Amino acid sequence: MVLPTHDHDALTRWINERHVGCASEYGGVVCLSTFGPVEHLIDPDHLTADVHALFGFARQAPRMFDEQPPEVHRARELLREPVLAALSAICSDLAVHGLDAQPNIGLGAIMGDEIFRCGIRIHNPARLAELLGLQ
């Protein structure tokens, strides 16, 4: 399990003041649960209304450990690839700006269920701070 650290408190605090509950930090990696802070860096074709709808639907998917019929688990698995593809496209856009970003597919706490939260991990938070004008 990866535990929270406080290496980038100023950055996560600044983001959360503008985008409530968006940023957290685990093991020196900043996790963003929404794209507000970096939306200006993302190709609009990768953050369409359909992508927002996909993410909204995925966020409502029942958790893996919930008691659900097999068809619900199958529906979750059908969501996994489109969500991962959309997040990967967003991360590629961020890489153009020097951000080492990856889809948040799990940091060890929920066994991969994080993909349905539709967030990203930033592995170089100092570059994110720079892009946001904080350094």
List, for residues 48-93, the tens digit of each pLDDT value.
999 999 998 888 876 655 677 788 778 878 888 999 999 999 999 9
pTM: 0.86
Do 38 and 94 meet the contact criterion of CB atoms below 8 Å apart? yes
| Residue span of the structural domain in which 69 resides | 9-131
79 located within any domain = yes
- 23: Cβ contacts below 8 Å, ≥ 6 apart: 11, 12, 15, 16, 30, 31, 32, 33, 37
Beta bridge partners of 101: 122
Confirm if 101 and 123 have CB atoms less than 8 A apart: yes
Domain contains 106: yes
On whether residue 2 sits in a domain, the answer given is no
**Average pLDDT score over residue span 2-6:** 59
Give the count of domains, the chain.
Answer: 1
What are the angstrom distances between the C-alpha of 22 and each of 33, 43, 66, 75?
5, 20, 25, 27
